Structure formats: structure tokens, C-alpha cells
Structure 1
Amino acid sequence: MTADAPTGVGATALAVAGFRALESERADRLFEDPFAADFVAAIGGTVALEPKWVGLAHHVSIRTRFFDDQLLEAAEAGCRQVVLLAAGLDTRALRLAWPDGTTVFELDLPDVLAFKERVLAGRPPRCDRRTVVADLREDWPAALVAAGLRVDEPIAWLAEGILVYLTGDEVERLIGALRGVSPMGSRLALAHSLRNTRGVWRSTLTEEPVGWLARHGWHGVAHDTVGLSERYGRRVPGSGPSHAVLASAVRAQEPTG
């Protein structure tokens, strides 16, 4: 393990990178991430899958493909600003075919971004890529605006794997802050959980996601991971996070309650 390897919640990003690297090796891969294995190699690790992680690896592959599609659709629909909240070791700025004029903001803690920059040094992005040091528990919108985010133009937001590591109050503050800086036509994609099965998670959704999003000014759709697996032609493993919620939403209404 190298001295600059992410720790705490940031360390989970290394495991997720390993899962993305394994998916990228498959002949029937759902996406290709040519940089994922580099993060694992940078800490002296190897890409391998233990049987107990098969279900989680499947979930990561499904959600990665789903969010790839969601973000590209949002960009094509006019959201040329994309914000990856708690971006971790996400490499979408480098590997996706973004429309001309797209800016991708990667927001995370300083140690995560420093490690990421070291590993990706010299790799050109396929968009205007901007890293933003900020903590989601603090005034992160101000940091994004300082980095050039325009809150008068549509934004595509992604919260892929962070919400379960925030408390319920922190999640509510985050979704409220998103409403405050998202003009109509903005998009939101997120992953959360309906129940806590891992012990390390700090929050789960206490209501179905569509109603929860509507209360915060988003018209949302929940996506079943089993259905998505079928859409992508993948068999669902015998075990996996079936309790996980993937949701997509459009900022097109005022809160309903």
C-alpha cells in the first residue's frame, strides 16, 4: 500500500476500481475502463475477484453502465455541465465520448483527488475536466461555483456511491442543496439503499425513491437492478445488493410536500 492511497470511505473507491477493471476484461463487457487497473496497480495490488464479492461486482458493473448511459443522455439533452459528487476514482471524463463543450467537475476530498491525479498524470480527458476539492458535509456548492459551474444552465449530477455513507440528515441537506443550484432541465442520477445490510452504511432510504425525489423538486424514476441486468443480458448472481436503488430524475417541478 502506498502512502498516498485513499483511506476511509475513499478506500472503497479502490475496490470499485478493481471491479471495473475485471468487467473491462470480459469479452461481453458492459463498458471499458482502461484506467481502472492502474489504480489497483498503483498501490501494489492485483485485480482478482473473491467469491464473496461476486454479487457486489455484478452490481457495480450494472450501475456503472446505467450511469454511463444516463450521463451521456443528459449531455446530449443539453446538460453540458456534469458534476460527479464524491467522484472517487471515476474516469468518465477520460473514457466517455462527451459532446463538444462538455465540462465534467469531479468533486472529492483532497487525498482522493491527489492520488487520482498521480495515477492519471499525462492521460488526456475527453472533455473540459475540472477537479474540485470539497466535503459534501460542508459548503460544496460554493466550491463548484468557484471552479466555474454555472447555476443558470442545466447540470447533470451523479451521486453514485456516497449517499449511504452520509447520515440521514446529511443526505437531506445534500438533496436540498442540489435543488437550490439546479435550474429546470437539470438531471440527477443516484444510487442509495432501502436497507442496511453491511453495517458500515450510515443511512438508507426510509421511503420509496420516487416520492422522496418529488418532495425535493425532482421528477424521478426508480430502476430495478434485476430488470437492468436483464436489459444488459446479464444473469443475476445468487447473492448481491438487491436492496440497492438506482434512480434517475429531472428537475422539472417544485417540491410536492
Structure 2
Amino acid sequence: MQEIGQTALWVAGMRALETERSNPLFRDPFARRLAGDTLVEELRRRNAGEGAMPPAIEVRTRWLDDQITLGLGRGIRQIVILAAGMDARAYRLAWPGDTRLFELDHDAVLQDKEAKLTGVAPKCERHAVSVDLADDWPAALKKSGFDPGVPTLWLIEGLLVYLTEAQVTLLMARVNALSVPESIVLIDVVGRSILDSSRVKLMHDLARQFGTDEPEVILRPIGWDPHVYTTAAIGKQLGRWPFPVAPRGTPGVPQGYLVHGVKR
């Protein structure tokens, strides 16, 4: 599997550790199976004591779960997860019976996940679409049964930081072209304030490409209304952020963002 596929395992491992807390932000009963016991325990050791990382992935996962639920409450029944990795939402969330969910990723990643979840049935109509997001993935998505004529909820989690600015622009143009008004997009964005800080040493080279502290620029120019939140502020609301929360744009404070956009 490619390095990004390995990162998907790491995210699953973090979700497994959160699930095993006494009062978790969410429960992903498949995360340990997807990540593997060895990786989960390695991450547990790494995050012990002073080596603990900010709970950004945990907060992100909970916020996205909540926003998906709100989108379903608005009547959306078509979901697309770009670079799905080891995402188990098709198997763990309570989906309305008529929900259709499309997971896009490299074939090796999708096959690895499906092998590990043998015998587990998704809780919605799930379509695995093997693609390279650098290629014509919209054609593959439509061939798999995607309907561009109905509102869609797009989930773009843990992806943009691996792309160049030009690739992000192309990705969002394609999402926009496939979306009717009232469609929703959920994105996490790494700030340049993080990429340009000393903490960037914690990230491998692939995850050092796209970042912005003005995530609105991703959506406004293509006709979407964005609402931007700092990961720290959401974490504080959830009672899980162990650090002081500075206002957005505070000089010298690295920030990550959670973005909810609606197409006009």
C-alpha cells in the first residue's frame, strides 16, 4: 500500500484508542480491526505522557459524525467520501435505509479494508469505487451509480494537506460540477500556521503541501457558503482540548480548521 494508505491505518489506530477510552467522543468498533493490534499499541505508547499529541483526529472525527447526522436530518441521502481510507462510517453510523454511500480510494486500500471487515454488513447501500483522484474519478463515480441531480454530502477528510494548491483547485471544481444547490461539503484544513511551525517535523513529507489559514478561499469562489471553525475551539466545546484556545488568526498560534460548506 502507498504511504497515504499507511496514514489511513494510523488514523484508524487513533480512532481505536479513542473508542477504548472510558468516555470517548465516538465509538468505532471496527477501528482496531482495521489498524491492527500492533499499530494501536505502538500509538498508545507514543501518546503516553508528555508525548501525547493534540486530539485533533479525535475531535475531527466527532465533528464530522455530528455534521453528517445534521445533513441526513436535512434530507440528504447521497454521501461521497473522497480518499476513504479506513473510514468505517458505512458500518458504524445509523443511516436511514435509503442512504447511498460511495467510498473512493485506491483499489489496494479498499481491498485491504474489505478483507479486514469480512462478514460485517454496511448499514447503508455502500459502493466502493476504485480510483486515483489524479485521474477522471467523476466518470468512475457516475458509472458506479452516483446521481449528480440530487443533493450530495461530500466528506473530504485528511486529504487536502497531501495535495498541491492546483490539485485542490481541480478537486473542488470537480466536486462543484457534480453538486446541485443545497449540497454539503465537510473538509478539514491544515493551516499554514501549522505547516510553517516547528510542529511540521511531526508530519511526513507528503503531508506538507497544501495549507491555508483562510479556508473560505476554497469554497467562496465556486459558489459555496463556508462556515469555518478551529479544531481547538470545537475540541474545547467537546471538553477534550487540553490547551488554551486562542482566537482564530492569533499570531504565533498554529491552527487547524473544520469547514462546513453549502452550495448556493
With the length of structure 1 as denominator, give the TM-score of the two structures. Answer: 0.89
Give 1:12's match in structure 2, choosing from 7, 18, 24.
7
Equivalent-residue separation in structure 1 for 2:163 and 2:40 (angstroms): 30
Unaligned 5+ runs, structure 2: 245-252
Flag the 1:17–1:244 CA change in 2: closer, same or farther, 3 A: same
Q: Is the 8 A contact 1:225 1:242 kept in 2?
A: no
Please tell me the residue identity of whatever aligns with 2:3: G
Paired residue for 2:250? none
Q: Displacement of 1:31 after TM fit? A: 0.5
Separation of aligned partners in 2, 1:45 and 1:212 = 34
Contact 1:107–1:133 under 8 Å retained in 2:
yes
Looking at structure 2, the residues matched to 41 and 19 of structure 1 have their Cα atoms a distance apart, in angstroms, of 11
Query: Could you say if the C-alpha distance between residues 53 and 125 of structure 1 is closer, same or farther in structure 2, counting changes exceeding 3 Å?
Result: farther
- Find runs of 4+ consecutive structure 1 residues off by over 3 angstroms: none
- Map 1:1-257 to 2 at 5 A: 6-41=1-36, 45-47=39-41, 48-49=43-44, 50-51=46-47, 54-56=52-54, 58-195=55-192, 196=195, 197=200, 198=203, 200=205, 201-206=207-212, 208-237=214-243, 242-252=254-264
Q: Which deviations, in whole Å up to 9, do the C-alpha atoms of 1:108-161 show, x marking residues without a partner?
A: 001100100100111011110110001111111111111111000000001100
1:255 corresponds to = none
Across the two proteins, how many residue pairs are aligned to each other? Answer: 244
1:11 & 1:137 partners in 2: Cα distance? 19
Identical positions, percent: 38
AA aligned opposite 2:20: E
- How far residue 100 of structure 1 moved from its aligned partner, in angstroms, is 2.2
Q: Gaps (5+ residues) in structure 1? A: 1-5, 253-257
- Contact kept? 1:30, 1:65, Cα under 8 Å: yes
Distance 1:45 1:92, change over 3 A: same
Q: Give how far 1:199 is off.
A: 5.4
RMSD of aligned Cα (Å) = 2.0
The letter of the residue matching 1:245 is Y
